[in-house]
Structure 1
């Protein structure tokens, strides 16, 4: 009787271990894919941006990574559609960032109701 429980317990442990290994493998693959995509994007941006613009984007990525990501995507899209031509300089990047800021900024209005 004790052997049955031991066998069941071992089977449960084995299944859990296999599941954990599968999850870790999936996570590792996902991270590798993200790193590969990031490297491709960096290579594209290296060709499209001037050194000053790349520096500004790197600084922005440290502070506001979501804005930097949006700016990178915007630069790539604008170049692909032909709306701007490479190399994208710092002034053009600033204009793109300002436009992104305008489109994502929320205006808050505080209303005080007095009785």
Structure 2
């Protein structure tokens, strides 16, 4: 009985180990894909942004990565659509950031009801 129990336990351990290895491999692949996409995006941005605009985006990425990501995507889309001609300077980037801020800003209103 102890031998069967040990075999069962070993089989469970083996399955869990295989599952863990599979998950780690998937995560590693996902991270590699994200790194590859990030490198491609950075290469595109290096070609279409001035150094000052890239610096502004890098600083923004440190503080508000989601806004920086949205701005990067917007710049790339605008250039690909032909609505913006490279090189995109800092002033143009600021205008894009202001537009993104306007479109994503939520106004909060506090109302106090007195009884």
Q: Using the alignment, how far apart are the partners of 1:111 and 1:8 within structure 2?
A: 63
Q: Using the alignment, how far apart are the partners of 1:82 and 1:34 within structure 2?
A: 27
| Offset, 1:110 | 1.0
SS at 1:34 equivalent: helix
SS at 2:109 equivalent: coil
If the length of structure 2 is used for normalisation, what is the TM-score? 0.99
If the length of structure 1 is used for normalisation, what is the TM-score? 0.99
Q: Which residue of 1 aligns with 2:4?
A: 4
Gaps of 5+ in 1: none
Aligned residues: 115
| Offset, 1:2 | 0.6
| Offset, 1:27 | 0.3
| Offset, 1:84 | 0.7
What are the superposed Cα offsets for residues 43-92 of structure 1, whole Å, 9 maximum, x if unpaired?
00000100000000000000000000000000000001111100000000
Moved over 2 A (4+): none
Q: Using the alignment, how far apart are the partners of 1:107 and 1:2 within structure 2?
A: 67
